[in-house]
Each structure stands twice: as C-alpha cells, then as structure tokens.
Amino acid sequence: MADTKLTPPAGGEKITIANGKLTVPDHPVIPYIEGDGTGPDIWNASVRVFDAVVAKTYGGKRKIHWMEVLAGEKAFNETGNWLPDDTVTACRDYLVSIKGPLTTPVGGGIRSLNVALRQMLDLYACVRPVRWFNGVPSPVKDPGKVDMTIYRENTEDIYAGIEFQQGTDDARKFAALIKEHFPDRYKKIRFPDSSGFGIKPVSKEGTERLVRAAILYAIDNDRDSVTLVHKGNIMKFTEGGFRDWGYALAHTEFGAVEIDGGPWSKFKNPKTGKEIIVKDAIADAFLQQILLRPSEYDVVATLNLNGDYLSDALAAQVGGIGIAPGGNINYVTGHAVFEATHGTAPKYAGLDKVNPGSVILSGEMMLRYMGWHEAADAIIAAMDKAIGQKQVTYDFARLMEGATEVKCSEFADRLIAAM
C-alpha cells in the first residue's frame, strides 16, 4: 500500500493491525479532517479536550500526534480537489482517524464526501450510540430510558449513488432498458419521461457483516436485544432481504432459535449466559415505538437510509444532535473514521457557539476503539460533571432551567477543568 506524501508529525508511529487485533503505540499518529461550516470551531475545542485527557490520564506517557488531512471546502480551496488522494491514503495507512462534518449540496453538485470516504475505506458499520446524560434537556418525559446503539449499514442502499437525473441521456437510456427488459415494471412508473431514477442495492454479504457486528457488540457489551429495522413489507427484496438474512445469520452463526414459531429468535450470550433476543420491526412503527417504549430497544441493526433518519430522531430524544457521536468502522481491516452524527450547521460557522460534545464523544469512541479505556472513561465523567454544573452551549441552555450559556471553546474549558 502506498504511503501518503503528507509529512507525518515527528515522533509519532502508525497504529497497525495483525490477526484482527489493533496495536496502538503510545504515540500514535492520527489523521484529522477539520470539516466545513462549524467544523473548525468544534475541532479546535475538541482537540484540546483530547490532548488534555490523554496527558492527565497517562501522565505524559501517551500522546496523540495529530496530522491534518484535507477534505471539503478547505481542500478545494487549497488543492482544487474536494477529497485529495493523500487524505484517503492517510486514513487508510494510519487506520484510525477523526473528522468534522463536510457539506453536501442538495439536488446537484458534488456527491457526499462523507459517503465517499465510507465507501472508499469500506467502513461498513456506522456505529452511533445514543444515551442520555443526566440533566440534559429533552423533549420526552423519560429520556433516561433511551440507551440504544445503532448499527447502520454504511456502504449500500440508496447511498451507493446509482442515480439517473431526470431529462438526461442516462435517464432515458435507463428508462429504455427497463421498458425493454421489464415491461410490466416499466408500466408502473407513473410519469416515465419526467422521472429521475435511483437504485438501491442491498446484498446478503453486506447485510451479514453489519448484523454480525451488531450481534457481536451485543455479546461484548452484555446487551438484551438486537432489533433488525427495515421496511421489508414494501421493499421486499432489499429491506425484506435484510431482515431475512439477518435472522438467518443469527441462527447459523450464533445458534439463535425461534421463539413461539418465530421469526423472533433468541440465543445465550456465550460470555454471560444471559439471553439475547433477535427481533425485527418495520421502520415506521419503530419510529413511534422508540418514542413510546424506548426501554424495549437496545442494539439496532438497520439499513443505510433508515439508520440516517433514526440517528437524528434518537439523538433528539436525548437532548439533540449536539452530543450525538459516531464511528464508521470496518472490523475486519481495522479502518475507522470517527465523526459526529450532525452536519456542518452552517448558520453558526465561526461563531464559537455550537456544542462540541458530539465530536468530543466521537473521540471518546475512538479512544475506546484504540483500547485507551481510561481516557475514554475520563471524558464521560467530565461530560457528566460539566453538564451537571449547567454551564452549557446554546442548544442546551435554551431548554435548561437555570443554565448559563457558554461558548463552544468555553465548554471545552469546562470539560478540561472537570477532569
């Protein structure tokens, strides 16, 4: 594999993987992408928290050597390329990286760089834990009942980007192809001449590796259930396939057996002996269930688009997207890019205003992924403490009684002080 032409920071070493196990040196090089919009505000606050927590936890023995790599507007302005090869190579070579949000225009323009990076590195699992921090304002009565981890398939579905724009030669060719080979289905297109088209590939292997990761997470973290969320009643061969392949994998690889005639199934956690239920839910019903009966759901395995919607909806239930973290992971190659669930929030760019919590908690996931559990735990403890002191960014302050609003950078200061 070619090394990046970027100059790595002196004194740092690469994280490596052998036989599926990461080796993390005490001084790892970690590439980061600052991000567009509010990305720089958030990154500047977050990196101070990461450096402080590692220094305080390990007394100077460990240190992250950050290496900036470019993507998005900054990359385009400096190199004329939205996602330079060097950036992808660095994320590939150094295995673990972290990024801020990148803008994707609606309707036309460039395709999502975020999605491109996930596809190029084959980061098939988008892992988004959703939990409530004591004191965070929430629109629901009992936000503490929400404790779920979303495993969103990250490389397939409508996000594969196979689309044909209305009125183009490609769209006409595609329509002609369906007309010739699938006349019955062509007849179902209400306005064929003025339609755009999108294709949704969902594969057995793609489903299996995602559902396997979700079940292994449930085993390792002693969770009660894995729910396969799909719209398989309507999209039978894609979303319905996801459900069927997911159950089949639970049976063949984890020894799950059907309960009361199925399809819900159960197996014993090989580590704890506790029962894990594998169940499924249709996506629209699931969205009302998570509001009404959140404690019945735990690990969620779902397709790309459902997972995108669900992540923001669940984040809102525990106080908003300002503290919703995530990681894009390939558990086989070890590649991982950590990033917030939210986007660039452009109206707040440069105001030092937004909540940096989502990137800070994405860093917490990254540290845990690296095996630096003590530092990760210290971030969670500091978060609890800082929020408890009610000195919070605008998003929480506007909903929290008796709170003092602090800037993005000041919230990082509070976290560091709370360590």
Ligand X SMILES: O=C(O)CCC(=O)C(=O)O
42 sits near ligand X (criterion: CB under 6 A): no
203 sits near ligand X (criterion: CB under 6 A): no
We find the least distance from the C-beta atom of residue 4 to ligand X, in angstroms, to be: 23
- Both tokens assigned to 390: 């009610």
Distances (CA, A) of 84 to 5, 68, 70, 231, 241: 11, 12, 7, 36, 36
280 sits near Mg ion (criterion: CB under 5 A): no
Using the contact rule CB under 6 A, the part of the chain among 13-21, 53-61, 107-115, 229-237 near ligand X is 107-115
What is the residue whose two structure tokens read 């660095």? 90
Q: Does the annotation flag 398 for ligand binding?
A: yes
Q: Does the annotation flag 346 for ligand binding?
A: yes
Residues 274-313 that bind ligand NDP (CB under 6 A): none
Residues 93-132 that bind ligand NDP (CB under 6 A): 101-104, 114
Query: Does the annotation mark 231 as catalytic?
Result: yes
Query: Does the annotation mark 217 as catalytic?
Result: no
395 sits near ligand NDP (criterion: CB under 6 A): yes
Q: Does the annotation flag 112 for ligand binding?
A: yes
Residue 39 contacts residue 344 (beta carbons within 8 Å): yes
Phi, psi of 232 (to 5 degrees): -75, -10
| Alpha carbons 163 and 352: distance in angstroms, whole number | 38
| Alpha carbons 367 and 221: distance in angstroms, whole number | 17
* Nearer of residues 103 and 330 to ligand NDP, judged by Cβ: 103
Could you give the angle at which helices 304-317 and 283-292 cross, rounded to 10 degrees?
20
| Alpha carbons 16 and 25: distance in angstroms, whole number | 9
Helix, strand or coil for residue 332?
coil
* Nearer of residues 112 and 389 to Mg ion, judged by Cβ: 112
The DSSP result for 372-388, as a single string, is: -HHHHHHHHHHHHHHHH
104 sits near ligand X (criterion: CB under 6 A): yes
Q: Does the annotation flag 84 for ligand binding?
A: no
| Preceding omega of 346 cis (within 30 degrees of 0) | no
Q: Choose the catalytic residue: 124, 159, 217, 369.
A: 159
Binding region for ligand X (CB under 6 A)? 104, 112, 114-115, 308, 311, 341, 343
What are the residue numbers of the active site? 159, 231, 284, 308
Positions in the binding site for ligand NDP (CB under 6 A): 101-104, 114, 320-322, 339, 342-345, 354-355, 358, 395
Residues making up the annotated binding site for NADP(+) are 103, 342-348, 355, 394, 398
